[in-house]
Amino acid sequence: MAYQAALRVWRGDHGQGDLTPYTVEVNEGEVVLDVLHRLQASQANDLAIRWNCKAGKCGSCSMEINGRPRLACMTRMSTFAEDEVLTITPLRTFPVIRDLVTDVSFNYAKARQIPSFTPDPSVGLGEFRMQQVDVQRSQEFRKCIECYLCQNVCHVIRDHPENERPFAGPRFLMRIAELEMHPADTADRRDIAQDDFGLGYCNITKCCTEVCPEHIKITDNALIPMKERVAGRKYDPVVWLGSKISRRPRSAGTPKVPGKQT
């Protein structure tokens, strides 16, 4: 059954704007993005929305619906009461370009800073072999669609913009974990994870995991294992003593962070 839904949509640009009320028709089986498209087509032709696949795979339509970071294309209208007022705002962590579209270039800048995959140069092309169990942990992280909901919800930068420089955010700490766990990667990324990408800022409150539309266990499978590896490298006195008396093998070199001034 169709019904009329009450919406409050954040309209504005350059950070200045307000919540504009609308009433829009909703039909059975629709998602929030459908309703926003109807709003755009019928009442607010200049409403800016970023979207692409409508299938939860491109990560474009990230926004906040009733204060919760979600993909508009994966949020069914049936999860809300018909008399509930829906408040729709842009991602709060990133600068607004216009209406519901934000500038997520912060994430691209962080991605560029991560030293790339570093295989053993002595292994020739086509010679490396690995088994499924060796890469299955990394494969979980490859499900990421880069919707940046985890980056948006992480309070380290959401509530403290001054931490944007030292902290890379869960998505990119997960990328470091993916490379660190990779059986063919020879670089030791534990130092830079802590010193350059701010792993220590994470207090594992798991909001990144809660909002992930791909249900990646970011905290349990990437961030905490990475914290344990960093603890072994930097904070474990027994490991430190073992390395001093040469009872533990020396780790591979730490790669340089591109663009970092030394």
Partner 1 sequence: MTQTTDAPAKTRAQISQKTLRTDPWWRSPGITAVLLAIWVIYATVHVFIGHYYWVPQYHYLTPFYSPCVSGECVPGSSSLGVWIGSLPPIIPYAFVSLPFVLGFRLSCYYYRRAYYRAFWRAPAACAVREPHAKYTGETRFPLLGQNLHRYFFWAAVLVGILLTYDVAQAFRGPNGNFGLGLGTLIMLANVILVWGYTLGCHSCRHITAGRLNNFSKHPVRYWIWTRVSWLNARHMQFAWASLGTLMLTDLYIWLVAAGVFNDPRIFN
Long-range contacts at 43-51 (CB < 8 A, ≥ 24 apart): 44/9, 44/11, 44/20, 47/9, 47/11, 47/99, 47/100, 48/97, 48/98, 48/99, 48/100, 48/101, 49/99, 49/100, 49/101, 50/100, 50/101
Among 59, 69, 213, 255, binds partner 1 (CB under 8 A): 69
Instruction: Please give the order of strands across the beta sheet that includes 86-89.
Output: 16-26, 3-13, 86-89, 62-65, 68-71
- 254 forms part of the interface with partner 1 (CB under 8 A): no
- C-alpha dihedral sign at 63, 67, 70, 73: negative
Q: Which is nearer to partner 1, 160 or 260 (CB)?
A: 160
Residues 92-131 that bind partner 1 (CB under 8 A): 92-97, 103, 130-131
The CB-of-121 to partner 1 minimum distance in angstroms stands at: 18
Residue 188 to residue 134: CA distance in whole angstroms: 17
Non-local (6+) Cβ contacts of 51 within 8 A are: 33, 60, 61, 72, 73
- 220 forms part of the interface with partner 1 (CB under 8 A): yes
The single residue listed with the structure tokens 């931490």 is: 163
Q: Which is nearer to partner 1, 42 or 235 (CB)?
A: 235
Q: Which is nearer to partner 1, 28 or 162 (CB)?
A: 162
Q: Which is nearer to partner 1, 30 or 236 (CB)?
A: 236
Q: Which is nearer to partner 1, 54 or 95 (CB)?
A: 95
Among 20, 40, 66, 113, binds partner 1 (CB under 8 A): 66
- What x/- string results for residues 13 through 42 when contact with partner 1 is judged by CB under 8 A? -xxxx-------------------------
Q: Which is nearer to partner 1, 25 or 134 (CB)?
A: 134
For 163-192, letters b (16+ CB in 10 Å) and e give: bbeebbbbbbbbbbbbbbbbeebbbbbbeb
- 156 forms part of the interface with partner 1 (CB under 8 A): yes
# residues near partner 1 by CB under 8 A: 62
Residues that bind partner 1 (CB under 8 A): 10, 12, 14-17, 64, 66-69, 84, 87, 89-90, 92-97, 103, 130-131, 133-134, 153, 155-156, 158-161, 163, 180-183, 185, 198, 200-207, 210-211, 220, 224-225, 227-232, 234-236
